[in-house]
Structure 1
Amino acid sequence: MESIARQSVKLCPFLNNASSSMQSVKRLQQSNVSAIAKKCPFMGKAMQTAGYASSAAANVAAANARNSESDLRSSDDVQESAFVNHGTREKSFDYDGLFEQQLHDKRTDRSYRFFNNINRLAKEFPLAHRQHEEDKVTVWCSNDYLALSKNQQVVDVMKRTLDKYGAGAGGTRNIAGHNKHALKLEAEIAALHKKEGALVFSSCFVANDAVISLLGQKVKDLVIFSDELNHASMIVGIKHASTTKHIFRHNDLNHLEQMLASYPKSQPKLIAFESVYSMSGSVADLEKICDLADKYGALTFLDEVHAVGLYGPHGAGVAEHCDFEAHRKAGIASTEHSTVMDRIDMITGTLGKSFGTVGGYVAGSVKLIDWLRSYAPGFIFTTSLPPAVMAGAAEAIRFQRSHLDLRQDQQRHTTYVKQGLADLQIPVLPNPSHIVPVLVGNPELARQASEILMDKHRIYVQAINFPTVARGTERLRITPTPGHTNDLSDILLEAVDDVFNTLQLPRVKDWEYQGGLLGVGQPEYVPEPNLWTEQHLSYTNNDLHPNVREPIVDQLEVSSGIKA
């Protein structure tokens, strides 16, 4: 009883202020409880209201409390507490009901996702089979842009590494150490982007989140400026950064500058943007963004996920493509003058698209990479990529670096498809890149279009709905590769035309009648020229600098940690 009394004195302001703690405890144990309670401004009023004014009732309550003391003491699990345990008085929360309702909401608004069973065949690319091996379809929406996942050199290196070093890395680099495959891969990435260092993550989603969030948490008063169409990984990173952010209209650099100008140059800033935006195919003006960063004292964070392997003479992305001639002539060496790629502070990319494997990375200065290696939880506490994966990724980077023809074929096939769709009045969001977004504008019709292509024409093109794209802009996203030759493209064009006829989907003239959308059917819209010029497409692999063929790339000290 004494323990209950002590706890009551501590929690009750009336008892605590009335006298010393010991006196209050003795009064609770020895005195008439109701008499004390009546003097309390809260309990006294409550007792009157509830009809508990009689001392007899109070004494009964005290007796019940004394009787319950032995029950409390008999349980080892019960700690002294003045709080009432409601655990047995209410029903448990209906978790399944919540899940069911939110899934129902997604089905209702047509944003529920169904994943197709697609098993890409390495020996028959771009063919894949569905559940059964004889049920084959042509894949037209893969992000394996250069088909390097099936490249024999890449596969052979991975097989040899797997046989020699096993399936897994053994843990995080912090615990299990790293290996020569990690060292080689990070050196190849740094050389590709002509940066001092690089760090490999389990995915580029993790890399983007880790880098941006750490900057926000460690750089006091950092302000982040983000393009409104940035990838979800960057949005999550900005959220985790827990700092001030501003979102500028897509590729609207005047809007960006207005925001930058509202802060002193001395305040830390970060501009986060992509080179190629994967769902629209639009491309950022990297040079002008670098100019704004210099003018207002900002760091630049560039996501090249959908550009590495596809742009630049060596596949380093749009940043390299901006100075195509300078990099072509220099090969893997530094150029004679500063380039856009030099001006970007940090470049993130993926190993899971054009490089055909899996993983992500960031490239930048030695100090930046060492800082990220030392502080980023997304790197420190994540198991390393398997040795075979890292060896395969490094081989893919080396292979594509000297094979300009892969990028050129991919561009030529993209141009052929875009022109064929234009001839059929099929609405395609205009862009200067390799992405072919066919506008549908309705989630249910986009799903039906994808199903007809699959079931009737044996063509796999996934429908893209909210939240990946805004409501009312639903689309089919087509991505040709070097393996999608003109004969396959003709089959695709005929199939898409049939789908538009079957579902009576709006064509370009229909969008014009409605006023247009996203550059489709908008008479005032001025299309941008393709990033790949006729001059770029005229080069051969022999026009690349000899140093890109089997170059010796030095190991990076920062990959292991820089010794003082």
Structure 2
Amino acid sequence: MPFFNRIHLFHYESYLQQQLHQLKENGNYRYFLDVNKSARHFPVFYYESGGITKRAINFCSNDYLGMSVEEDVIAKLSFTAHQSGTGSGGTRNISGTTKQHVSLEQTIAAWHQKEAALLFGGAYLANFTALQTLGRSIKDLIFISDERNHASMIEGMRSAGNQKMIFGHNDAGHLEEILSSLPLHQPKLIVFESVYSMNGSIAPVRDIITLAKKYNALTYIDEVHAVGLYGASGAGICEQEDLLQQVDIINGTLAKAVGVIGGYITASQTIIDFIRSFGSGFIFTTSLPPAVCAAAEKSITLIQQQSSQRTKLFHLVEYLRRLLGDADITFTENSSHITPVRIKNAVECKNVADKLLTQHGVYVQPVNHPTVPKGEECLRLIVTAKHTREQAAHLVTSLKQVLIEEDTYHMQEQQA
């Protein structure tokens, strides 16, 4: 008998299937709903189930202001696509830098009161590349990271290979303990978010920046869930707190409140030129289509000029929370626009979401591990400027009914 027939061979497919099965058993498998998005009817959308077309209201979209369905933004994208085509046709250094890219970067930099900006295919790539590049390039740089930071930031720091120290979520006191334990001359980068998307908390940005100045650290803030919503012109929490010129590097997205696609960082000319010159995630990636850049710039201009949509959004958030309180539905209190409703476990979280969709036409995606720690599974309720009060009321009524049904089921199961 040949030797290779006597040894145990690794079965790749079986191993992967076993891991997927375990994920489903734990309630953490990610099921995708095929959404037929309607620019005309947003936040209502359509989907197929059993060969039947059904409608539902989207309460988990990050298109906070509905800018992706704004006529002027759509028209700008369409017009530019007819002029420039559907793609850029190259990386930024090989024919992929168009006048639309340059103009958008200038608009973003001015919006955040910075010297320069740099576009990426997405905010994940922007975070990953910027942090990886800084870590690999600055000898002995230590990352000091909030424990609830986004996966893109965690992976960027991990890829750099530098030492990382973690401070408690939004805990400025713990952050100072860490900073004070390090030599003043030690290169340090504090990495945090302004609005944390899973629990809706807002960072003590002023306190963090004050500590950074005191202990000679750079600051890197992810504003993806704040851009477009906070501040006089919608530039984010840093603008709201009058701190735009105090923070060193801002990461933002064009895919949420701006309603298009792409991400960016904005900072001093030197920092941006450094990432542009040394960041492999920027250098070796085909650039965004010119039409996308033009549409994003149009959207930002509209956001800067019009505060009514932001005002409507936050009024609707207040209304939703008042209805939840009246219905005795517990949610995580915070100062942001994100309203998490904690569910007992991953399986129940999915069951509640499934019933909301199939029985009530309400689409809320369950948020499970590893997006949140085990035990913190939740439904993240998102209303946009395009939702109505009637739709918010329907969400609360439906959620209340499903939660009562779930509690009744569990009580009967325990008695059986």
| TM-score category (smaller protein) | over 0.9
- Contact 1:440–1:505 under 8 Å retained in 2: no
User: Could you tell me how far apart the structure 2 residues matched to 1:195 and 1:405 are?
Assistant: 26
Q: Which amino acid aligns with 1:353?
A: K
Among 430, 447, 462, the alignment partner of 2:350 is 447
User: Could you tell me how far apart the structure 2 residues matched to 1:500 and 1:177 are?
Assistant: 51
1:231 aligns with 2:134: no
How big is each residue's C-alpha offset from its partner over 1:30-78, in whole Å with a ceiling of 9 and x where there is no partner? Answer: xxxxxxxxxxxxxxxxxxxxxxxxxxxxxxxxxxxxxxxxxxxxxxxxx
- Partner residue of 1:191? 110
- Partner residue of 2:412? none
- Contact 2:109–2:266 under 8 Å retained in 1: yes
1:156 aligns with 2:75: yes
**Aligned residues with identical type, % of pairs:** 42
- Partner residue of 2:31? 114
1:130 aligns with 2:33: no
User: Could you tell me how far apart the structure 1 residues matched to 2:5 and 2:52 are?
Assistant: 55
- Partner residue of 1:24? none
Among 307, 310, 313, the alignment partner of 2:226 is 307
Among 48, 57, 60, the alignment partner of 1:141 is 60
Among 318, 343, 347, the alignment partner of 1:415 is 318
- Partner residue of 1:51? none
User: Could you tell me how far apart the structure 2 residues matched to 1:120 and 1:274 are?
Assistant: 29
- Partner residue of 2:87? 168
1:486 CA drift (Å)? 1.0
1:216 aligns with 2:135: yes
Give the SS at the match of 1:207.
Answer: helix
User: Could you tell me how far apart the structure 2 residues matched to 1:109 and 1:125 are?
Assistant: 33
How big is each residue's C-alpha offset from its partner over 1:252-272, in whole Å with a ceiling of 9 and x where there is no partner? Answer: 111111111111111100000
Aligned CA distance change for structure 1 residues 200 and 171 (closer, same or farther; 3 Å):
same
User: Could you tell me how far apart the structure 2 residues matched to 1:352 and 1:441 are?
Assistant: 31
1:505 CA drift (Å)? 8.2
Aligned CA distance change for structure 1 residues 176 and 459 (closer, same or farther; 3 Å):
same
Among 201, 216, 219, the alignment partner of 1:282 is 201
Aligned CA distance change for structure 1 residues 485 and 343 (closer, same or farther; 3 Å):
same
Q: Which amino acid aligns with 2:192?
A: F
Aligned residues: 406
Structure 1's unaligned 5+ residue stretches are: 1-84, 324-339, 507-564
1:93 CA drift (Å)? 2.9
How big is each residue's C-alpha offset from its partner over 1:303-341, in whole Å with a ceiling of 9 and x where there is no partner? Answer: 000000010011100000113xxxxxxxxxxxxxxxx11
User: Could you tell me how far apart the structure 1 residues matched to 2:126 and 2:199 are?
Assistant: 23
1:425 CA drift (Å)? 1.2
Among 472, 477, 482, the alignment partner of 2:375 is 472
Among 168, 176, 180, the alignment partner of 1:249 is 168
Aligned CA distance change for structure 1 residues 191 and 230 (closer, same or farther; 3 Å):
same
1:441 CA drift (Å)? 2.2
1:410 CA drift (Å)? 0.6
1:133 CA drift (Å)? 8.2
1:432 aligns with 2:335: yes
User: Could you tell me how far apart the structure 2 residues matched to 1:300 and 1:89 are?
Assistant: 57
User: Could you tell me how far apart the structure 1 residues matched to 2:339 and 2:92 are?
Assistant: 40
1:134 CA drift (Å)? 3.8
* TM-score computed with the length of structure 2 as normaliser: 0.95
Structure 2's unaligned 5+ residue stretches are: 410-416
- Contact 2:96–2:286 under 8 Å retained in 1: no
Aligned CA distance change for structure 1 residues 253 and 445 (closer, same or farther; 3 Å):
same
Q: Which runs of 4+ in 1 moved over 6 A?
A: 85-89
- Partner residue of 1:100? 17
1:135 CA drift (Å)? 1.3
1:355 aligns with 2:258: yes
User: Could you tell me how far apart the structure 2 residues matched to 1:180 and 1:87 are?
Assistant: 60
- Partner residue of 1:390? 293
- Partner residue of 1:179? 98
User: Could you tell me how far apart the structure 2 residues matched to 1:252 and 1:165 are?
Assistant: 48
Give the SS at the match of 2:110.
Answer: helix
User: Could you tell me how far apart the structure 2 residues matched to 1:133 and 1:356 are?
Assistant: 29
Q: Which of 1 and 2 has higher RCO (CA within 8 Å, sep 6+)?
A: 2
How big is each residue's C-alpha offset from its partner over 1:112-157, in whole Å with a ceiling of 9 and x where there is no partner? Answer: 1111111221001111011278411111110000000000010000
1:177 CA drift (Å)? 3.7
1:171 CA drift (Å)? 1.6
How big is each residue's C-alpha offset from its partner over 1:149-172, in whole Å with a ceiling of 9 and x where there is no partner? Answer: 000010000001111111111021
Q: Which amino acid aligns with 2:44?
A: L
User: Could you tell me how far apart the structure 2 residues matched to 1:443 and 1:255 are?
Assistant: 31
- Partner residue of 1:23? none
- Contact 1:138–1:460 under 8 Å retained in 2: yes
Q: Which amino acid aligns with 1:375?
A: F
- Partner residue of 2:366? 463
1:179 CA drift (Å)? 0.4
Q: Which amino acid aligns with 2:387?
A: H
1:108 CA drift (Å)? 2.1
- Contact 2:331–2:339 under 8 Å retained in 1: yes
1:176 CA drift (Å)? 2.2
* TM-score computed with the length of structure 1 as normaliser: 0.70
User: Could you tell me how far apart the structure 2 residues matched to 1:120 and 1:185 are?
Assistant: 27
Aligned CA distance change for structure 1 residues 86 and 124 (closer, same or farther; 3 Å):
same
- Give the number of the structure whose residues are more often strand, by fraction: 2
- Partner residue of 1:35? none
Aligned CA distance change for structure 1 residues 201 and 133 (closer, same or farther; 3 Å):
farther
- Contact 2:56–2:362 under 8 Å retained in 1: yes
Greater mean deviation of Cα atoms: 104-113 or 399-408 = 104-113
- Contact 1:161–1:387 under 8 Å retained in 2: yes
1:343 CA drift (Å)? 0.6
Among 200, 210, 228, the alignment partner of 2:119 is 200
User: Could you tell me how far apart the structure 1 residues matched to 2:166 and 2:258 are?
Assistant: 31
Aligned CA distance change for structure 1 residues 445 and 177 (closer, same or farther; 3 Å):
closer
- Contact 1:226–1:248 under 8 Å retained in 2: yes
Aligned CA distance change for structure 1 residues 221 and 120 (closer, same or farther; 3 Å):
same
- Contact 1:173–1:384 under 8 Å retained in 2: yes
- Partner residue of 1:39? none
Q: CA RMSD in A?
A: 1.6
1:297 CA drift (Å)? 0.5
Among 260, 265, 270, the alignment partner of 1:367 is 270
Aligned CA distance change for structure 1 residues 171 and 96 (closer, same or farther; 3 Å):
same
User: Could you tell me how far apart the structure 2 residues matched to 1:312 and 1:165 are?
Assistant: 34
Give the SS at the match of 2:244.
Answer: helix
Q: Which amino acid aligns with 1:99?
A: L
Q: Which amino acid aligns with 1:450?
A: A
Higher CA-based Rg = 1
Among 283, 295, 301, the alignment partner of 1:380 is 283
- Partner residue of 1:492? 395
